[in-house]
A and B are shown apart, each in its own frame.
Chain A
Amino acid sequence: MPRDRFDQILLAALAVTLTGLGLLLLVPGASTGQVASPALSRQVEKEMLSQARLSLLERRYAPVHRLLDQGELSAAMLKLEELSRDLPGEVHSNLLRGDVLWRMGQLDKALTQFALAVRGNPDYVDAASPLNQRDLIEAALTQGLPQVRDRLRSQPGSRVLEQVLRDGYYLQSRLAGGCE
């Protein structure tokens, strides 16, 4: 409760400030519109970057998809090598390489490539993403993990196979969800 004049002045000032705040926020036209909201610009920019990246991936990797559709697996592998040269560090190459290796029956190497791809871009296991590859990765895991476990039983201590198994468990974990 206001005890003296100064308290009353403070309360009045608060009322004016809050009224002004309310007017700024609620009355249309308060913004001059001359300067774009930086937050909105950032959001738009993020969306554009995302779309641009998707478009780039579709364009650059279209030849690989064509070769895969034609069943030209070896040619697809070579094309991926070329694309890795031009786009170093782009994990989409790893994803498609995993796909080719899976089709060739090289399940252990496929799992390694899928793990590299997902580590670099979790969108591959995101059902809501246009890059979603859950079905492919699940199929590779279903076929590949038992095979790797069998081989590890006959070759205990194989570091390469142990790493493939870890990659497989990682993929399983990512497919299962969780906060990441």
Chain B
Amino acid sequence: MNVLVRSRHFWLVLAAGAAVGVFGGLLSFWGNPQNSGICVSCFIENSSGALGLHSNQRMQYLRPELIGFVLGSLLCAVGFREFASRGGSAPLARLVAGIFLIVGSAVFIGCPIKLFLRLGAGDLSALSGVFGLVAGVWLGLQSLARGIDLGRSHSERGGGGLWVPTLFVLLLLFLLVRPAFIAFSERGSAAQHAPLLLSLGAGLLLGALAQRSRFCITGSLRDSLLMGRRSPLFWGFIAFLAGVVATSLLTGQFRYGLYGQPGAHVDYVWSFLGMLLVGWLSTLIGGCPFRQLVKAGEGDTDAGLVVIGMLLGGGLVQTWGIAATAAGVELPGKVAVLTGLAFIILLSLFSRERAPG
């Protein structure tokens, strides 16, 4: 522990975790939907809607937070000379993985960050998702230990790593200029948002911190399972949880209970399976949805493809009725989650490095 405390990286991770937790609470206090101050999957669905990838008029808004995560990471990576175009590790599989990350999150109604934001706000129905996420990360670790390997990424020529950040610069322009072809909901959850500058600023700060610290929710769980308290990410996760609970209590957003929680359903089995899907996939592809955005900002084209996949997924879950609601999970959602699990299993089978003979 002494060694950890003396490391600058440790404090950076702590700061990143705490910041994500605090801003996660503050952003919903400032206007984002309840318990969804930061929810990458919900924000992806909103942004997909804004881009016209689905027609749910209540879920169309280019979330500045997402733009901030990518561009904050980009600026930080460039500033600290860590930006590097790299990729080439199972690109199409990662594109599909991005779709299923959103599927799993949409069935739970929240990404791993929102999972803990909900829990920290007293929503006990999120517990089944916690068990699912931890189980998924564990399964991912088991898969990696048994030789599942999507291949190494390598340095890429041609500045390929700039394309996804450029896309997000374009999205920022769209957000500021508001052209007619970009939809902005006037009602529903997408109409609930914190002031633009606050959202963008928070996103930039968190993107930068996450890029420097490598903070990631599923990564924290992974490292906690592997190394316990010796891992800086373990402490970063604790700081994140502390930030969530403290902000939730101080802003009066804490509502303890199982029922009647905002943006939550009580189909526990499917919450578990949805987060299992997310945890497992995240471990295999090297990070949760938030981490994928940050990596895309620092030039990782594989993560960039995951982000593109997530945007596609954001459109599909709304158009095909996969996304769950407070009423529960409908059949398309259940089918999609099981299809996602089948995808991981097949991917694992095909990607497994086997001993010769």
Contacts and interface: CB of A to CB of B under 8 A. Distances in A.
Nearest to A50: B57
A39 B51 CA distance: 11
Interface stretch (B159-167, B256-264, B273-281): B256-264
A173 B260 contact: yes
Given A172-B259, A177-B34, A179-B42, A122 B264 contact: no
A173 B259 contact: yes
A119 interface: yes
Given A46-B57, A170-B326, A173-B326, A178 B189 contact: yes
A78 to B, nearest CB: 29
A1 interface: no
B331 to A, nearest CB: 15
Interface string B8-35: 0000000000000000000000000111
Nearest to A179: B42
Interface in A103-146: 115, 119, 122-123, 126, 128-129
B36, B110, B179, B326, most chain A CB atoms within 10 A:
B326
B317 to A, nearest CB: 12
A175 B183 CA distance: 25
Interface string A28-48: 000000000111100100100
Residue of B36, B57, B180, B255 with most partner-chain A CB within 10 A:
B180
Contact of A178 (B35, B180, B181, B266): B35
B57 A179 contact: no
A180 B187 contact: no
Nearest to A169: B259
A10 to B, nearest CB: 13
Nearest to B173: A25
B189 A179 contact: yes
A170 B261 contact: no
B353 interface: no
A28 B99 CA distance: 40
Nearest to A44: B180
Nearest to A167: B327
A174 interface: yes
A178 B117 CA distance: 12
Contact of B262 (A122, A169, A178): A178
Contacts of A46: 57
Given A173-B259, A178-B263, A180-B325, A123 B109 contact: no
B153 interface: no
Contacts of B34: 176-178
Nearest to B264: A173
Given A123-B187, A177-B189, A179-B39, A172 B327 contact: no
Given A126-B188, A173-B262, A176-B260, A43 B36 contact: no
A176 B261 contact: yes
Nearest to B36: A179
A42 to B, nearest CB: 8
Contacts of B326: 170, 173-174, 178, 180
Interface in B217-275: 255, 259-266
Contacts of B263: 173, 176-180
A122 B188 contact: yes
A128 B109 contact: no
Nearest to A123: B187
Contacts of A170: 326-327
A148 to B, nearest CB: 12
Q: Which 10 A-B pairs have the closest CB atoms?
A: A178-B263, A172-B260, A39-B181, A178-B262, A177-B34, A176-B262, A179-B42, A173-B326, A169-B259, A177-B262
Given A39-B181, A177-B263, A180-B325, 13 more contacts: A46-B57, A126-B187, A128-B187, A169-B266, A172-B259, A173-B264, A175-B260, A176-B34, A176-B261, A177-B35, A178-B262, A178-B264, A179-B36
20 contacts: A37-B180, A39-B180, A115-B327, A119-B327, A169-B259, A169-B266, A170-B327, A173-B261, A173-B264, A174-B326, A176-B34, A176-B255, A176-B260, A176-B261, A178-B264, A179-B42, A179-B46, A180-B58, A180-B189, A180-B326
